A and B are shown apart, each in its own frame.
Chain A
Amino acid sequence: MLVEYIPILVILAMALIVAAGILVLTHIVNPRIRNPIKLTTYESGIEPQMEARLRYPIRFYVVAMMFILFDVEVIFMYPWAVVYKQFLSQGWFIFWEMIIFLAILFAGYIYLYRRGGFQWE
């Protein structure tokens, strides 16, 4: 089983070589013309007042949390999807099983919807 993953290691090595190669090559050949103004933050010529890492809207954090919730649900569906056809010969049980799972998931979705979790102003 693990033998299947050897080509993945090969392509990982190749991708690392390509990425490191182009980044190192440009370091070697690029010209360096020092100028303190060039090293300042890009701000259309206006001097930056403070650091950029300030407080940012909490919506991004909420989206990340919702993503984790829903993505875990989707991962649960993958094994179910793989065996769905086989188990269907034994009746509709496997179908209703997932309907109940989705109904619970959807109740959470409607709650989030009502509380304005998806509302982006």
Chain B
Amino acid sequence: MVNSATVELVVSAVKVFIVVNVILLMVMVMILAERRISAFIQDRYGPNRVGPFGILQPIADGIKFLFKEDVIPYHVDRFLYLLAPAVILVPSLMTFAIVPFGSSFSFYWGDTPVHVRLQIADLNIGILYFVGIASLAVYGLVIGGYASNNKYSMFGGLRSSAQMISYEIPMGLAIVSVVMLTGSLRLSDIVADQQHMWNVVRQPLGFLIFLVAAFAETNRLPFDLPEAEQELVGGYHTEYSSMKFSAFFIAEYANMITSSALITTLFFGGYHVPFGILEALNLPVAWEVVVHVLSFSIKTAFFLFVYLWVRWTLPRFRYDQLMNLGWKSLLPLSLVNVVLTGIGIAIF
């Protein structure tokens, strides 16, 4: 007989190990996909020399980063300068903890039944954990910009922090309207609630607000003002080199993966398969879990593709347009959405 607390700990350690490694692997896939899809959209080849179809390119890039000289300029605040990449990387890997990426299954370990839920932590505050941890990344940007003691870094850090906090409010309000529908902050409840109808049908406006805010939160085009190359060189990571420089990018891609996963979970039914296809297939229980994980992965991959698609479709915003959109349009719009959701729930 194995102690149940030990089982819990081992199961969660295995889940964490797999999830963090899958995220890091997906970051590498995304780096390649971004370059290949950009190339495809611009009608050129993109990296195709390293390995078949260039699939080993991100590994080559990673090794190159690792063996580059790590320059620490003498005018920086050394402690904060070294701290910033870690501050930005840790929350980006932690936010995925609450996302349910599949249903659950059970097996026997010796004679102890083990129930594995495909979600690292099913917290009762669920989505609030995401909002809280994701906003910690702002500290990384500000610390990195300030510690570099370079005007480009300074302004990149200031701009991105102002941008991120501005779009956090519409994002929070879009989440509020989803929570009103479900009556729970727990993400497993939110997913279970969407078994028959996805939230995007009931919350089209909320979905649009969340999508725009997610683009702004991850500092992706068309909102990549912090690193607008033409005016700010590289933004907050101008003075960084070697693996510290790449840490900022790993964090950015990890954030993209988590926000795509959250869009899927909050608005597109999470791991559920639409139109009752799964019931029609009549699969054994073990295969159902696989199909759930697959369904979740395909939806998330689609939103990751949307990130790249938008990048080459829309031009970059000007900074005043960005702040105007956040404060003058999205904020009132999301408040209206909350009121409309309230009326809708009361009537139906």
Contacts and interface: CB of A to CB of B under 8 A. Distances in A.
A32 interface: yes
Given A102-B339, A109-B332, A83 B183 contact: yes
A117 B284 CA distance: 59
Interface in B304-348: 319-320, 323-324, 327-328, 331-332, 335, 338-339, 342-343, 345-346
Interface residues of A, dominant DSSP: helix
B38 interface: no
A63 B160 CA distance: 12
B5 to A, nearest CB: 8
A41 B151 CA distance: 9
Contact of A23 (B9, B244, B331): B244
Contact of B149 (A14, A33, A52, A92): A52
Contacts of B69: 30-33
B7 interface: no
Given A11-B94, A102-B339, A84 B73 contact: no
Contact of B13 (A3, A10, A18, A53): A10
Interface in A1-37: 1, 3-8, 10-12, 14-16, 18-20, 22-23, 25-27, 29-33
A74 B176 CA distance: 8
Interface string B154-167: 11001001100110
Interface stretch (B122-130, B255-263, B288-296): B122-130
Q: Which of A16, A18, A85 has the most CB of B within 10 A?
A: A18
Given A1-B124, A18-B89, A113-B328, 7 more contacts: A10-B13, A26-B242, A53-B149, A63-B323, A67-B166, A78-B176, A88-B346
21 contacts: A11-B16, A11-B20, A14-B17, A15-B89, A15-B94, A26-B68, A29-B66, A38-B71, A39-B71, A41-B75, A41-B239, A42-B150, A42-B239, A85-B180, A88-B345, A88-B346, A102-B338, A113-B328, A118-B323, A120-B323, A121-B320
Interface of A: 1, 3-8, 10-12, 14-16, 18-20, 22-23, 25-27, 29-33, 38-43, 51-54, 56, 59-60, 63-64, 66-67, 70-71, 74-75, 77-78, 81-86, 88, 92, 95, 98-99, 102, 105-106, 109, 113, 118, 120-121
